[in-house]
Structure 1
Amino acid sequence: EKRPVITDLPADRKDDPKVGKLPSCCRNGTILPGLMDKSQSQSIFQLQVFKLPPDDNRTALTPPQKWKINGALNPSYKCGPPIRIDPTQFPDPSGLQATSASVASWQVVCNITKPAVPRCCVSFSAYYSDSVVPCSTCACGCKITETGKCSPREPAMLLPAEALLVPFANRTEKAKAWAKIKHYDVPKKLPCPDNCGVSLNWHIDSDYSNGWTARLTLFNWGNDPFQDWYTAVKMNKAYEDYENVYSFNGTRMEKEVKSTIMFTGLKGLNYLIGIKNGTDPEKNPMVPGKQQSMISFKKKHFHNIDIKGGEGFPTRVLFNGEECAIPKRFPKNNAQHLNSNALMVLCIAILTFLFMTDRFH
């Protein structure tokens, strides 16, 4: 083919006698950052390039042009033209302690391009609020076929916590019922879905005088699993007081990325599976792949951190190198709703009293 699409081989082909046996072969499309694991930060694949008439000169080598790298969730990369460099040295295929040089080598530099819309999103929740702030409406873009049935401008409706485990198509009734219970307004035209393949939930779990805890949950709504996934959260004030994460690996990025903590899966638990059928497909909706962990913070550097005011939530979240959309609001304290309701009742009582006293004059 003149414009071939090359896909990395899965890990089980690493020792295949025909296509494997290459160093750093068969990563299944996953190349980790060098900060995370240098041994898995490169990938090698091999392809045969044939000449087409009239280019029959065997000594004239022209590398493939117009490279482009795409991923299932990762950002796209725009590549420059191949540049001739010194021949690459490879270990001798015979297994001897020797190296052999390639006939010719070229280097193609690819730079990340920011997509028009994100491909992952974040929801916020907290122990002091009954409602979850879901991913924003059309956080990962709106489909043209949806715009006539839903509103791309209407803010996402608040949800009960259990609705996070339900696909968006099955959340409508839960959202309406929750709005009725909590006396929230229901728009005439319901908001459109977020359309994100991966979502993350940041939940404030506790807040004490000497520290606080959060829970990070990852949801995979797509069919493809993510092996060796990683996510990074930027915490402004809370970064200095990060203490530990218990079901993930956690690394504080001291020099590389300011105020950022990187989380990866533990060995044997680094596989975020795709969405699958429920226990009863006829009654229960699809179930997303899910992983979660508790994260603890101290209050050593910032004693007066305003958790309920939003300082306990990340300001930036990335998943597998992709920046995720973050809500523009935080969970509200239940007491705020109670105080507003009590104030309304008090105002009605005063107006009723004034009306009744006026009638007797």
Structure 2
Amino acid sequence: MVIYFSRISVLLLFLCSWNSFITTVTSPIWYNLSNTEAYDALDPTGNITIKWDIMSWTPDGYVAVVTIFNFQQYRHIQAPGWQLGWSWRKKEVIWSMVGAQATEQGDCFKFKGNIPHCCKKTPTIVDLLPGTPYTQQISNCCRGGVISSWAQDPATAISSFQISVGQSGTTNTTVRAPRNVTLKGPGPGYTCGPAQIVKPSKFISADKRRKTQALFTWNITCTYSQFLARKTPTCCVSLSSFYNETIVPCPTCSCGCQNSSQPGSCVDPKIALVVPASGKNSLEPLLQCTKHMCPIRVHWHVKTNYKEYWRVKVAITNFNYNMNYSQWNLVVQHPNFDNITQLFSFNYKPLTPYADINDTAMLWGIKFYNDLLSQAGPVGNVQSELLFRKDPSKFTFEKGWGFPRRIYFNGDNCVMPSPDSYPWLPNATPNLATSPFIILLITFFSFLILM
């Protein structure tokens, strides 16, 4: 009798432990803990570099050109654009700016006559909007803070402005670089290091006949962390195939769960048509009510199987009524991208962070056609089809091989369904004998037999 009850106790303990394990691995919190680092294996050298080039000295300071270079391959800064902030080390003021402006002037009461553009100890700078008068522009300014990713369009992956700084010192030994630099693009997520003195930048004139250089240059490097940007993911992936009727949805609560205590936390699809369009991008999402509660869903459908090719349909759906995703992009990792043959309505570029592996692709919209992913509603989706050539050495539809390994939307890692739930071929089933649950059961009952 004692042995019998002890075995029951062990069984109950085992079931409670297993339940706790399942809860942990399926929770969105578990997903977030795996993404705390800023390092991105698909873009190991990606960063935003801010160059602060002192071009000339003034009676009480200097004139500098500040340039933001987005060296990230697929993560861009979309509307409402970047915000750059810092803390002055001394009593510096901004006399004037070209190509950007400070959001607040601050307290300039001690100045008489010529009033500075900004007197705040911690200014916040924003880009000017398109259509700004030519006299207030410099090269690479005035795009509303929108900066393209480097792989998508290097020509627009740069943003610049000119700043005249006073009360700062007038030599290399008396000026001090700003500290506590912050970059929002838009929203948090970027962490910037201290300014470093580097070799002065060189510039070539428009006619390419004269080369000049800065008097002094500081570099500030900023890196991105999805975990710092937001506590929950922003996108999820669903799957389907022609050979199986099963449609695998995004995992429940991928980006959060519906809050029953706050009825206004999402919009019921039945009344979605009466929701007024905001017309402006907002950092506060207004989501359509779904089981996954993600602003973006990416659906991968294995569509057709030919003798020498196979076809996939990719659809991206926006469930956020407060956001138009401009210059969106998708990064997909799949072993057959080294044999991609044709895309029908997306741009394509291979990403090869490691020279001997070509399994990652960047996809984005065609300009003026589908490069804007509209807010949730009837037109809030974009889609394309991809045609792959079969490689006999590795091609198969077995064990979910036709589905992607990883998907990013606008640089954020999307939540993938569990591989055990993938649509399987009609004559194939998941190998349950090797699943963790079966192994644990076998181990447990073997332990009971030996007791």
Shorter-chain TM-score bucket reads 0.5 to 0.7
Q: Which residue of 2 aligns with 1:136?
A: 251
Question: Is the counterpart of residue 265 in structure 1 residue 357 in structure 2?
Answer: no
Is the alpha carbon distance of 1:41 and 1:125 closer, same or farther for their aligned partners in structure 2, counting shifts above 3 Å?
same
- 1:172-251 equivalences in 2 (<5 Å): 193-222=291-320, 223-236=322-335, 238-251=336-349
For the pair 1:45 / 2:161, whether they are aligned, the reply is yes
Q: TM-score when scaled to structure 2?
A: 0.53
Q: Deviations over 1:212-262 (max 9, x none)?
A: 1111112233333333322111003x2343221111122333555641122
User: How far, CA to CA, are the matches of 2:312 and 2:256 in structure 1?
Assistant: 28
Q: Secondary structure at the match of 1:45?
A: strand
Whole-angstrom distance in 1 between the partners of 2:391 and 2:305:
14
What is the CA distance between 1:129 and its match in structure 2?
A: 4.2
Secondary structure of 2:238 counterpart:
strand
Structure 2 Cα separation of the partners of residues 201 and 4 of structure 1: 43
Q: Are 1:81 and 2:194 an aligned pair? A: yes
Relative distance call for 1:107 and 1:142 in structure 2 (3 A) is farther
Contact 2:338 2:358 in 1 (8 A): no
Question: 1:299 and 1:99, CA in 2 relative to 1: closer, same or farther beyond 3 A?
Answer: closer
Identity of aligned residues (%): 27
Measure the CA separation in 1 of the matches of 2:253 and 2:164: 42
Q: Which residue of 2 aligns with 1:62?
A: 176
Q: CA deviation at 1:61?
A: 2.6
CA distance in 2, matches of 1:198, 1:332: 22
Q: Is contact 1:77-1:110 (8 Å) kept?
A: yes
SS of 1:137's equivalent?
Answer: coil
C-alpha RMSD of the superposition: 3.6
Residues 87-129 of structure 1: CA deviation (Å, up to 9, x unaligned)? 4344569x89445544532110112223143222222122344
Which consecutive unaligned segments of at least 5 residues does structure 1 have? 151-166, 173-190, 277-285, 337-361
Asked if structure 2 preserves the Cα contact closer than 8 Å seen for 1:221 and 1:288, the reply is no
Q: 1:111 to 1:132 in 2, by over 3 A?
A: same
What is the CA–CA distance in structure 2 between the aligned matches of 1:70 and 1:4, rounded to whole Å?
Answer: 13
Can you give the 5+ residue segments of structure 2 that lack an aligned partner in the other structure?
Answer: 1-119, 272-288, 428-451
2:133 matched residue in structure 1: 16
Question: Secondary structure of 1:67's match?
Answer: strand
**Does the CA contact (< 8 Å) of 1:275 and 1:287 recur in 2?**
no
Distance of 2:164 and 2:260 partners within structure 1: 46
Report whether the alignment pairs 1:325 with 2:433. Answer: no
Q: Is the 8 A contact 1:251 1:263 kept in 2?
A: yes
In 2: Cα distance, 1:19 partner to 1:224 partner: 29
CA distance in 2, matches of 1:97, 1:209: 58
Q: How many residues are treated as equivalent by the alignment?
A: 280
Counterpart in the other structure of 1:351: none
Aligned equivalents of 2:308 and 2:270: distance in 1? 38
AA matched with 1:133: V
The 5 Å alignment of 1:264-343 reads 264-275=364-375, 286-287=377-378, 289-302=380-393, 305-306=396-397, 309-329=399-419, 330-332=421-423
Would the alpha carbon gap of residues 85 and 123 (structure 1) be closer, same or farther in structure 2, given more than 3 Å must change? same
Larger proportion of strand? 2
1:201/1:296 Cα in 2 relative to 1: closer, same or farther (>3 Å)?
A: same
Whichever residue aligns with residue 301 of structure 1, its letter is P
The question of whether the paired residues in 2 share the 8 Å contact of 1:129 and 1:331 is answered with: no
TM-score with structure 1 setting the length: 0.64
Residues 261-290 of structure 1: CA deviation (Å, up to 9, x unaligned):
2212223325223316xxxxxxxxx33522
Instruction: Report the residue type matching 1:88 in the other structure.
Output: S
- Change beyond 3 A, Cα 1:192–1:205: closer
CA separation of 1:40 and 1:96: change in aligned 2, threshold 3 A: closer
**Partner residue of 1:118?**
233
Letter in 1 for 2:361: I
Indicate conservation of the 8 Å contact 1:124/1:133, yes or no. yes
> 1:299 Cα deviation (Å)?
1.8
Partner secondary structure for residue 155 of structure 2: helix
**Structure 1 residue 323: Cα displacement:** 1.6
What letter matches 1:82 in structure 2?
A: A
Question: Contact (CA 8 Å) 1:217, 1:292: kept in 2 or not?
Answer: yes
Cα distance in structure 2, aligned partners of 1:46 and 1:142: 46
Q: Distance in 2 between matches of 1:229 and 1:333?
A: 31
Distance 1:149 1:211, change over 3 A: farther
Provide the C-alpha distance between the structure 2 equivalents of 1:105 and 1:313, rounded to a whole number of angstroms. 47
